[in-house]
Amino acid sequence: MQLQVLGPHGGELPGCRSTCFLVDGVLALDAGALTSTLPLDELVKIDHILLTHSHFDHVKDLPLLADVLVGRRDSPVTIWANTECIETLRENLFNNVLWPDFTRIPTAKAPVYRLKSFKSGATVKIGRYTVKSVPVTHPVESCGFVISDGESAMAMSGDTGPTETFWKVLNKRDDVKLLLLETSFPNALQALADISGHFTPQTMLAELDKFDRRDCQVVLYHLKPAFVDVLKREVKAMPVHVCEEGERFDF
């Protein structure tokens, strides 16, 4: 498997793009930086988009992607997410008010997008990947994932604060080679991180004590753009890597 970093941040400023990763060129993980990073010929190759949750920085490129894909694919792009997230997209995004309903455009039988929901905790087959969803701790329903192609696997925490089930799931496996782990706010903003369901470096490090890492590489993402410099200083001595836009990981 190959993971391409399109957007490693929890928001946007010049030089910072919202959360988005691409697996093997065909499976997007969150949609915060698709149309702003990839050329059209690569966008049309994406068959599936897997969303951790409904917050804007994770879904914001879905409308603009639909706009450039219409009429360019023979089959819909499938958007996968937990039940609450899919309901939010239907009611608040593709509602013909905020944006046209591209789940029925150009026709109901051949739309740009197909929406597929699952219950948090379910295992689903997405293309050639098996995806185990895991509920994590956030103000809206949010999922972490373990994604496997049958030979190797990676995990993604989704937006979360201190949690339990996610680590129990990971500790039962010995094939996870890379973990994308959110870390959003500096230690001085611990109260804000707790309220909003995010990690600081100190809580992230405490969470890693729950994880039997084996040979898994831990890669931090979702750094809030206004605090990138201080966050990098606070995690510098920790056994983690802060991902950067454009990086690729093969595992």
pLDDT bucket at 73, cuts 50 / 70 / 90: very high
Give all domains of the chain, ordered by start, each with its CATH number: 2-250 (3.60.15.10)
Spatial separation of the C-alpha atoms in residues 143 and 120, rounded to whole Å = 7
Q: Three-class SS of residue 20?
A: strand
DSSP H helical segments within the chain, as ranges?
A: 40-43, 56-59, 62-69, 83-92, 165-171, 190-196, 201-208, 228-235
pLDDT of res. 241: 98
pLDDT of res. 122: 98
87, 98 Cβ separation under 8 angstroms: no
Mean pLDDT over residues 12-38, rounded? Answer: 98
Helix (H), strand (E) counts: the chain = 8, 14
pLDDT digits (tens, 9 = 90+) for 139-196: 999 999 999 999 999 999 999 999 999 999 999 999 999 999 999 999 999 999 999 9
Spatial separation of the C-alpha atoms in residues 191 and 155, rounded to whole Å = 27
